[in-house]
Structure 1
Amino acid sequence: MIEIKINKPLHGSNGTMNLDIDLNINEGEFVALSGLSGSGKTTLLRILAGLENATGTLKIDNEYWLNEKYSKDSQKRDIGFVFQDYALFPNFTALQNLLYVKKDKELAKHLLDMTDMYELKDRYPNSLSGGQKQRVSLCRALMNKPKLLLMDEPLSALDPQMRTKLQNEILTLHKEFNTTTIMVSHDPSEMYRLASRVLVLDYGKIVNDGLPKDILLKTKGSQKFSFEGELLDIVRVDVIDIAIISIGQQLVEIVLTKEESKTLKIGQKVNVSTKAFTPNIQGL
């Protein structure tokens, strides 16, 4: 269990505000932090990591990392941190970046195998693609099997195809290690796919907290349209099937016919259009 009760004045482009967080996170939860830029998401991650000061308390499994008398050094906090810009050691190979955290070659090989990076273990960061660098960064963050994994928009710099691939790998790693994870993201489809819980921050405060489907799905008026998207999920509600589809930065819900339910597969690229005011979904 992670218990967070912190306060910190912030000064930014949106003026002065207080980051005021009172939050409990269960072990193994995957929490996505959403909200406008400047709402305090990254600052919260940095406070949890011990990279910024705050007042209040931070308690992890009955151990205080922060209270009125004490702040545990960031190097001694049992965390992994995945940054948007990778933050790899340029003079270390992929494997050496992992072994710097912990001299466990077996675990390093296992993590690199899981992310299809073992064959590139002797490459230096400057010879890796963005997606490959982020895989190494993710593996490195898990080398000490941390109690808490923090990710600050880890996939935002990648192209959509690579982003989807790494999302699947993050899911696989989370299922195996069950690491409590907090991720900052602006991508609704990413949050829906990865998170078990979504928190929305606004002006330093949590204004919404719930399941991804309750926070992210918004139904608006119908109109003629034709868009390509990705089928994220098929949800059974009473006697009907509803498709959850990612279209750009939006999530939409479409009621499926029986035939569509049988032929569509989660993860498939689809075309969503209207015909005689009725939504139609076709696999691509």
Structure 2
Amino acid sequence: MLKVNNLSVSYGSTRVVKNLNLALADDEVLMLVGPTGCGKTTILQALAGLVPISEGEIQLGSWQSSPSKIVPPEKRNVGMVFQDFALFPHLTVEQNICFRLTDNSLADHWIKLLGLEAFRHAKPGRLSGGQKQRVALARTLAHEPSFVLLDEPLSNLDAALKDSLRWEIRNALKAAGVPAIWVTHDQEEALSVGDRVGILKGGVLEQLDTPETCFSEPANRFVARFLGEASFLPAHMEQVNQVSTVLGPAPAVAVNGASGDVDLLLRPDDLSLILAPDGNGVVQWVRYEGGSRLYAVNLDDGTELKVRVSHENHVAIGDRVRMGITTTHPLAVFQREH
């Protein structure tokens, strides 16, 4: 199990990672997300031993690293997968994967598992981006790392390829049975692939939990907004698990003990929209998304809500519409900001 206790990293007088605590199970995939400059890549570098830590400790198996007892990168048995693949251009796929291996049977295993058999004797210049990333992953796993760090491994690939390759990488990590920390700027990728998600802001871990909990019960408004479209509707806590709003009652779960006047977190899929001259709002803008349309609606009380509906539901900008809350699961509520 990989354990990180009170980890802090500073560049000069600037602290870029602050009191990070986490523990990963032996085959757990943790996704790290956050705005640019929040410390995601620095955390990976610290875990790999590439940058010194200011406070805290990192522990895995027989080794433990701290500011006073530094374990060098080569003693950590860490595997790293980068966005730029980092392959040797003059070596074949097989030679890249077998580089510094004493047992080539492990390379054969990952070549077959990751669908690289047909490219075994090809050099990287002949490969697509997705194939290169499979080679990089195979090389990493063939060396039997104790843990794997992935720094935005899919950011250089096109959208269609990302969707399939993210699952290939996850399945390979699970097959290897190693803990992995995967940094991404893609919230959808983080929510769909990770066993848990960590959301960073300014070097601080704002929330660490399952994807579903982080999305439906975010620890604060920052997490709510960062993980997807978020609207906040004024509400009043009528009971422990229910609020009243201008759109009617809704099931609720209080965040950080919120009570009385609160704001209800609504995702676009929590709402319905129909064209209605006697409705309760006006369409401000619309975005066509292929299978759906995303609308922004200004309610008569001035609140703006975003709602996602089928692409067949076509309403024009300026039309009056009727909004309703359709979800049946509890929605997060936050204390009203005054």
The interval holding the TM-score normalised by the smaller chain is 0.7 to 0.9
Question: Which residue in the other structure is 1:162 paired with?
Answer: 161
Question: Which residue in the other structure is 1:2 paired with?
Answer: 2
CA distance in 2 between counterparts of 1:100 and 1:183 reads 24
Question: Which residue in the other structure is 1:17 paired with?
Answer: 15
TM-score with structure 1 setting the length: 0.75
Question: Which residue in the other structure is 1:248 paired with?
Answer: none
Tell me, what secondary structure is at the counterpart of 1:23? strand
Give the conservation status (yes or no) of the 8 Å contact 2:63–2:76: no
Query: Pairwise mapping of residues 84-99 of structure 1 onto structure 2 (< 5 A)?
Result: 84-99=83-98
1:59 partnered with 2:59: yes
Q: Which amino acid aligns with 2:8?
A: N
Identity, % of aligned positions: 30
1:271 partnered with 2:271: no
Q: CA deviation at 1:94?
A: 0.9
Question: Which residue in the other structure is 1:192 paired with?
Answer: 191
Paired residues, number = 237
Q: CA deviation at 1:95?
A: 0.7
CA RMSD, 1 decimal: 2.7
Q: Deviations over 1:141-175 (max 9, x none)?
A: 11122121100000011001111121121122123
Computing the radius of gyration from Cα coordinates, the structure with the larger value is 2
Q: Aligned pair in 2 of structure 1 residues 219, 126: CA closer, same or farther (>3 Å)? A: closer
TM-score with structure 2 setting the length: 0.63
Q: Which amino acid aligns with 1:109?
A: D
Q: Deviations over 1:191-243 (max 9, x none)?
A: 12210101111111111111112224656459xxxxxxxxxxxxxxxxxxxxx
CA distance in 2 between counterparts of 1:272 and 1:133 reads 34
Q: Which amino acid aligns with 1:57?
A: E
Give the conservation status (yes or no) of the 8 Å contact 1:254–1:279: no
Q: Aligned pair in 2 of structure 1 residues 64, 253: CA closer, same or farther (>3 Å)? A: farther
Q: Deviations over 1:258-279 (max 9, x none)?
A: xxxxxxxxxxx9712489x993
Q: Which amino acid aligns with 1:29?
A: E
Tell me, what secondary structure is at the counterpart of 2:57? strand
Question: Which residue in the other structure is 1:244 paired with?
Answer: none
1:280 partnered with 2:310: yes
Q: Aligned pair in 2 of structure 1 residues 141, 281: CA closer, same or farther (>3 Å)? A: farther
Give the conservation status (yes or no) of the 8 Å contact 1:10–1:19: no
CA distance in 2 between counterparts of 1:26 and 1:2 reads 7
CA distance in 2 between counterparts of 1:278 and 1:38 reads 31
Give the conservation status (yes or no) of the 8 Å contact 1:39–1:201: yes
Give the conservation status (yes or no) of the 8 Å contact 2:32–2:199: yes
Question: Which residue in the other structure is 2:111 paired with?
Answer: 112
CA distance in 1 between counterparts of 2:33 and 2:110 reads 28
Q: Aligned pair in 2 of structure 1 residues 216, 154: CA closer, same or farther (>3 Å)? A: farther
Unaligned ranges ≥5, structure 1: 223-250, 256-268
Q: Deviations over 1:11-47 (max 9, x none)?
A: 6xxx933412122222221100100111111011011
Tell me, what secondary structure is at the counterpart of 2:200? strand
Tell me, what secondary structure is at the counterpart of 1:279? strand
Query: Pairwise mapping of residues 126-145 of structure 1 onto structure 2 (< 5 A)?
Result: 126-145=125-144
Q: Deviations over 1:79-126 (max 9, x none)?
A: 110011111112211111111142333221221122211110111112
Mean Cα deviation higher: 83-92 or 19-28 = 19-28
Q: Which amino acid aligns with 2:2?
A: I
CA distance in 1 between counterparts of 2:111 and 2:37 reads 35
CA distance in 1 between counterparts of 2:177 and 2:64 reads 21
Q: Which amino acid aligns with 2:292?
A: V
CA distance in 2 between counterparts of 1:71 and 1:123 reads 40
Give the conservation status (yes or no) of the 8 Å contact 1:101–1:143: no
Tell me, what secondary structure is at the counterpart of 1:169? helix
Unaligned ranges ≥5, structure 2: 217-227, 233-266, 272-288, 296-306, 313-338
Give the conservation status (yes or no) of the 8 Å contact 2:57–2:67: yes
Query: Pairwise mapping of residues 169-188 of structure 1 onto structure 2 (< 5 A)?
Result: 169-188=168-187
Give the conservation status (yes or no) of the 8 Å contact 1:57–1:64: no
CA distance in 1 between counterparts of 2:87 and 2:70 reads 26
Q: CA deviation at 1:65?
A: 3.5
CA distance in 1 between counterparts of 2:230 and 2:119 reads 46
Question: Which residue in the other structure is 1:260 paired with?
Answer: none
Give the conservation status (yes or no) of the 8 Å contact 1:79–1:150: yes
CA distance in 1 between counterparts of 2:17 and 2:231 reads 35
Compare relative contact order (CA 8 Å, sep 6+) and give the higher one, 1 or 2: 1
Mean Cα deviation higher: 186-195 or 152-161 = 186-195
